[in-house]
Structure 1
């Protein structure tokens, strides 16, 4: 039974500074060009800067091999020849390119067969009322494996789950949206984003680490697992202590409420989900059995698991597992009726990724130009020298980087675009003061997620607002921000403290990825 309707306060009127700030951010963000054009503009700026530095004969001594590195002009004849002759190669060899395509093919089968949606529905419907907040929040972190589909599937389900246990559906929408948006990079399950970030980090690490530098998609996996549990707990605590005490949680009396039956699986769906889960267990058991012998072909030299063919090809393994459960589930529910349906679903997944692949073309050129001009070496070495002479503790440097990236994320909400901008400078700069590339990437994850739930620059902010307006027609930007802000701030602070504790203790971030 819902509580009696109380006089509703105008949340936007109580938060004029937030409304004004969001309006300024919205106008500034809308003034930015599309990320595709932004990277070409940055390439032009890079060309001008490289010409100036080359004319001034700016150089540094590389700490990796003692060689003198001189800035090169992109506007020179040599630079023009490089830009024209390597354009296709830059795109074809862009590290995240092949990895993300392979992972998406598997994930697309699992998503479009209905498997991922079924898992989410089970996850938020079979929990006691006292655990519903944690269940929805944790499901939000797991849902990232479905990429953008996580918002479409889980946000409305959050409202349904809260209604089913007699709580405000408005709160359910807010919890689901914030757990996805402000915890987007904390999934305990490897996601396409892990492959994208690892590829960009690898490219940046090669600036000072050489061609052997490599960052695995699982390089932050241990940290991600702990982060997902922590963030779900923080969301639960803030929701109970802060959001649940608001007097404006009732839906409009005339709101069109969704059918609660949408939370429940049909007998056919339950049977298909059981078979898909059994197939996953069998596949994992077979993989463990193959890996168990010390001389397994999937192990590396000396029987190593950390440096092994398995982890080198982990993207393909993840794609296979998702494809397997998707096929079994799809056959059981009828979403897959013939063999030809499987490649069709894969193609639909790739089609959904088309905007990202187009953006990759521009990013790949920018990173190649940045590497060729040697500005990455120059900036990294000079910045590292400045950090060493500044005497600032490494923790302070971490916090400065985190604040900077968090502010940038308010306006550049594309994680791959922002990391492509920041990684070529931050990764080598911190590598030169003995901070592994994997650690810098983990720091970026916090900044890339924390402020996402409060910025209208994210297209999913508008989508979440639409779901909120199902229950409250007059909800606006300030309304949604007033709900998400306490959660986003608490999540960012808690996540940062976890990172600092992780660094202090020295726990590996993932397989073969020391934190320091």
Structure 2
């Protein structure tokens, strides 16, 4: 009888890892591709170097175009020449100092910094999201997100955690609150009922681009999209509310980790002193607005323009300074009542802190200003704009289709280049004059850009604020990752971009002005 064969031990096998969700894989690809791009500062210097080579090649080929504004022949000029070198060296300082958004953004930020760092904006947002019933908390947080843009990057720091607290206070998922707050800021960043620093930046870049074919008289006001922005903020808040109710609220993964101490994360309540300070600040703002209205009501007001015009007037020319003064006023009043400002010397310190926060943007402006000046001097913009406009006319493609193609391209670019000022500085010198030559005002092209610059921001991990929002999310769910946040924000971003685009097209079809003195077509 043969001996039994030794038992063969069972082979232990690790369970196969489930495949990563498609959204996670897509976000990983975007992150790797974006990380391969240079910093925007260096990107514009690289583009300037490419411009040097391109201008020399086009000059050698004798490329020129007939200007539709005066019938003169405009030839491409080479930066790789004596005149080009002299221009680049002699105008470098002037290019930076005269860069249209430069002075405006510095002035606006000084005023906003006082309001933000005194605690006024934080208190205002707390009140805005805390004193609403459970049924209105989504709309309140979403609309607060559009208003929060006035605080620029600080909007994310202030409102995103407040969104989680507001939802928790009414018995809803704090995870959902963070997603709603973050997406309303990110994918609605360029829609605000209150003029923001971005309005000044975009208007300056648009003005510089419009001068390519419109001459020195071309001017785009920071309020050129104001009417459109007001309606957009309300519409986007409504879209967020609906998508949250019918899509995101149905998800089964909205609960916080069981070991999270929700009572230890923060409070929405204001102290009695803060509430008093907020009331005094509101009264001071109303008084200032009443005084300003009284000044501009008479047709002979010095703040009105020729013939009593408000559209073309010192009032709108100086709107950035007025906005800065109003924010500075409420910030000072709030700070003095709340105790965050104890002596006059504190006010300029708060302004300095605001400018310090803007230092990276100002450094980027230096590179952008040189690139735009070189681009304008070479006349490549004229050639591109005229030829592209002529091609559009001959193709017979409806202008609405052109709008949609521009939106698509810029939306995709925005996933990689999340700096709005950088992307608009690249696109405006071509798109603005090109569309102006087919009778689309510069203000309309800028409004179109706002949609593309905002919609995809909430889903791209290339945005530093995406990672910041993820950090807030991980306070409630420790294993949340990039794909987790992107899967929450994707339905909102798609719906917001789609509806915002339809709103723009309806606005265009109805011919409603985009802002004071800014016809849509």
**TM-score for both structures, normalised by structure 1:** 0.97
Match of residue 403, structure 1, among 408, 412, 419: 408
Match of residue 76, structure 1, among 52, 77, 81: 81
Match of residue 91, structure 1, among 87, 96, 100: 96
Contact 2:165 2:266 in 1 (8 A): no
Render the CA deviation track for 1:280-299: whole Å, top value 9, x for unaligned. 00000000000011100000
Match of residue 51, structure 1, among 56, 65, 71: 56
Unaligned 5+ runs, structure 1: 1-11
Which residue number in structure 2 is paired with residue 241 of structure 1? 246
Runs of 4+ residues over 6 Å off in structure 1: 12-15
Partner Cα distance (2:416, 2:433) in 1: 24
2:284 equivalent to 1:279: yes
Alignment of 1:119-158 (within 5 A): 119-158=124-163
Alignment of 1:248-287 (within 5 A): 248-257=253-262, 259=264, 262-287=267-292
Partner Cα distance (1:355, 1:393) in 2: 40
Unaligned 5+ runs, structure 2: 1-16
2:40 equivalent to 1:35: yes
Query: Following TM superposition, by how much is the alpha carbon of 1:18 offset from its aligned partner in structure 2, in angstroms?
Result: 1.4
Query: Following TM superposition, by how much is the alpha carbon of 1:20 offset from its aligned partner in structure 2, in angstroms?
Result: 1.5
Partner Cα distance (1:344, 1:156) in 2: 27
Contact 2:225 2:447 in 1 (8 A): yes
Partner Cα distance (2:496, 2:161) in 1: 22
2:481 equivalent to 1:476: yes
2:334 equivalent to 1:329: yes
Match of residue 104, structure 1, among 102, 109, 112: 109
- Alignment length (residue pairs): 505
Match of residue 436, structure 1, among 436, 441, 450: 441
Render the CA deviation track for 1:60-111: whole Å, top value 9, x for unaligned. 1111111111000011111011000000000000000000000000000000
Match of residue 292, structure 1, among 297, 302, 305: 297
Aligned to 1:294, the other structure's residue is in SS state coil
Match of residue 211, structure 1, among 196, 210, 216: 216
Which residue number in structure 1 is paired with residue 6 of structure 2? none
Query: CA 1:14 to 1:268, structure 2 compared with 1: closer, same or farther past 3 Å?
Result: farther
Contact 1:142 1:187 in 2 (8 A): yes
Which residue number in structure 2 is paired with residue 367 of structure 1? 372
Aligned to 2:74, the other structure's residue is in SS state strand
Which residue number in structure 2 is paired with residue 380 of structure 1? 385
Partner Cα distance (2:243, 2:79) in 1: 51
Render the CA deviation track for 1:452-504: whole Å, top value 9, x for unaligned. 00000000000000000001100011100110000000000000000000000
Which residue number in structure 2 is paired with residue 502 of structure 1? 507
2:306 equivalent to 1:304: no
Query: Following TM superposition, by how much is the alpha carbon of 1:19 offset from its aligned partner in structure 2, in angstroms?
Result: 1.4
Partner Cα distance (2:141, 2:151) in 1: 15
Partner Cα distance (1:268, 1:281) in 2: 20
Partner Cα distance (2:349, 2:468) in 1: 27
Query: CA 1:14 to 1:111, structure 2 compared with 1: closer, same or farther past 3 Å?
Result: farther
Match of residue 415, structure 1, among 411, 415, 420: 420
Partner Cα distance (1:13, 1:63) in 2: 61
Partner Cα distance (2:337, 2:57) in 1: 64
Partner Cα distance (1:45, 1:188) in 2: 39
Aligned to 2:475, the other structure's residue is in SS state helix
2:190 equivalent to 1:185: yes
Contact 1:238 1:486 in 2 (8 A): yes
Query: Following TM superposition, by how much is the alpha carbon of 1:389 offset from its aligned partner in structure 2, in angstroms?
Result: 1.0
Contact 1:256 1:470 in 2 (8 A): no
Query: Following TM superposition, by how much is the alpha carbon of 1:14 offset from its aligned partner in structure 2, in angstroms?
Result: 8.0
Partner Cα distance (1:67, 1:13) in 2: 66
Contact 1:194 1:217 in 2 (8 A): yes
Query: Following TM superposition, by how much is the alpha carbon of 1:17 offset from its aligned partner in structure 2, in angstroms?
Result: 1.9
2:195 equivalent to 1:159: no
Render the CA deviation track for 1:288-335: whole Å, top value 9, x for unaligned. 000011100000000001110010000000000000000000000111
Partner Cα distance (1:124, 1:316) in 2: 29
Contact 1:204 1:427 in 2 (8 A): yes
Render the CA deviation track for 1:120-152: whole Å, top value 9, x for unaligned. 000000001000000000000000000000000
Query: Following TM superposition, by how much is the alpha carbon of 1:259 offset from its aligned partner in structure 2, in angstroms?
Result: 4.5
Contact 1:110 1:326 in 2 (8 A): yes
Query: Following TM superposition, by how much is the alpha carbon of 1:433 offset from its aligned partner in structure 2, in angstroms?
Result: 0.4
Query: Following TM superposition, by how much is the alpha carbon of 1:255 offset from its aligned partner in structure 2, in angstroms?
Result: 1.5
Contact 1:15 1:482 in 2 (8 A): no
**TM-score for both structures, normalised by structure 2:** 0.96
2:65 equivalent to 1:60: yes
Aligned to 1:263, the other structure's residue is in SS state coil
Partner Cα distance (1:349, 1:247) in 2: 42
Query: Following TM superposition, by how much is the alpha carbon of 1:13 offset from its aligned partner in structure 2, in angstroms?
Result: 6.2
